[in-house]
Structures are given as C-alpha cells and as structure tokens.
Amino acid sequence: MKSFSLFSITDEQAMWRVQMQDDAEAFALLVERWEGPIQNLCTRMLGDAHRGEDLAQEAFTRVFTKRKDYEPRGKFSTFLWRVALNLCYDELRKRERRRETSLDLDSEDGELGFVTEELSPDISVAREETADGVRAALMRIPETYRSVLVLRHYEDLKFREIADVLAIPEGTVKSRMAEGLSQLARLLEREAKRENTIKSRITSKTAETGRELLVL
C-alpha cells in the first residue's frame, strides 16, 4: 500500500519525508525521478559523461546529508538543480587550477581541442563530430553563460525557474542567454571556417599527388 501511494506524491512531499523521517523509500523515489536530468546537467556542464554521472551521484548524496537545510517553501527541483550546479562549479574550478599548474607542460588545451585532421566519409562519424564540436564550443563558453544555456535549452527550465535556481534577476538570466548564444555562434562559425581550410588543403594536396602520379 505504502509503496504504491508513493507514486502519487509530489517531490516536495517526498523531500519532507526524507527531511523529517529519513524515509529511504521517499529518497529512492526522488533519485529515480531526477537522476537522469541531473546526470545530463552535470555531463553538459563538464563535457564528460563519466564525470557527469559521478557528480550526479555526489549531488544526491549531498541532498541527503544536507536534507535539514532544505526549505519546504521552495520547489524541490530548484534546490536540487542548485546543489548539482554548485558541485559542477567546484569541479570546474578544480580543473582550472590543475590546468594552471600544468600549463608549462602542454600549451595545447588538449581535451577541448578539435580533432579535424582526419575527415571520415561515414555519416554517423560526421554527426558525432558535429556533436563533439558543439560540446567543445560549449566548454569554451564561460560557465555562468553555459549553465543558463544548459538549463534553458537542454533541461527546458523557464527563465523564471533559472532565475530562482541561480538566485539572480530574470533579466540577467536572459542577457546571459543572449550572450551565451552569441558566443556559441561565433565559436562555431570560426571552427567551420577552420575546418573548411583544412578540407581544401587536403583536397589540393591529393590533387597534387594525383598530378605527380600522372606525370610518372
């Protein structure tokens, strides 16, 4: 009876049970409902699915350990998005520090760089490359813009909800969204140009070798 009635309770009711009675069943329900979205948020903030999964798990652990801090007046999802996003910010800051210390060793920003040397004719590979290009471009956008882009575009939160999560005015959310999209468009355009020059260089080179072969 109890487990069945759990399916009809709201997130807030479930969280109240977790908060007041340490109800494991209610917590499991919340995890089941929100694990996917939180994993996707972390993956998109970090550009890394494995680390995204780890952070999502950490976010739920934190929600449980900080369950007494949750204020029942607000929406549970707002609280959860905020916890997860803060973990992402911490992780990105850690990465930044690591990169600064190892900057002398590799000048190339390896993991974020584009790999366009080899162009495969396979369509699925090409699609994967486009996805990778978008991912890489998003990673280059400042995280304050990225979080707004991810929450609005991928997680489909309204601007008002994002303002609640980030505790900033709705107008600021919109201006960050505009700036984020503009930066993204610029980055992708630049990459497309770079890719085209590489492509033309490769075709001219193959033409050259072909001509040489003909001469021989």
Partner 1 sequence: MSYLYDEMPANNRAGMKSHLEACASCRAQMTTWQGATHELDNWRLPSHRRGRKGVTWVRWAAAAAIIGLTVLGAACITTLSNEVKQLRTEVQRSSQLDFNAALAQVTEQASKSASADAQALIAAVAQRLEEKRLTDQQATLATLQKLNAQHTEDFASMRKELETVAVFTEAGWQRTQNQLADIAYSPASVSNNQQE
What residues make contact with partner 1 under the rule CB under 8 A?
2, 5-11, 13, 16-17, 20-21, 33-37, 39-40, 43-44, 49, 127, 130-131, 133-135, 137-138, 149, 152-154, 158-159, 174, 177-178, 181-182, 184-185, 188
CB of 62 or CB of 135, closer to partner 1: 135
Which residues, 6+ apart, have CB-to-CB distance to 153 below 8 Å? none
Least Å distance between CB 146 and partner 1? 11
Least Å distance between CB 110 and partner 1? 20
CB of 127 or CB of 211, closer to partner 1: 127
Q: How far apart are CA 130 and CA 137, in angstroms?
A: 10
For the chain, what is the radius of gyration of the CA atoms? 23
Half-sphere exposure for 5 (CA within 13 Å, toward CB): 3
CB of 103 or CB of 131, closer to partner 1: 131
Q: Which run of H or of E encompasses 84?
A: helix 76-101
Least Å distance between CB 2 and partner 1? 7
Q: How far apart are CA 155 and CA 37, in angstroms?
A: 7
CB of 6 or CB of 92, closer to partner 1: 6
Q: In this structure, are residues 46 and 55 in contact, taking their beta carbons and an 8 Å threshold?
A: yes
Least Å distance between CB 131 and partner 1? 5
Q: How far apart are CA 136 and CA 184, in angstroms?
A: 10
CB of 43 or CB of 91, closer to partner 1: 43
CB of 21 or CB of 203, closer to partner 1: 21
Least Å distance between CB 106 and partner 1? 25
Least Å distance between CB 181 and partner 1? 4
| Burial of 172 (C-beta count, 10 Å sphere; 0-12/13-18/19+) | middle
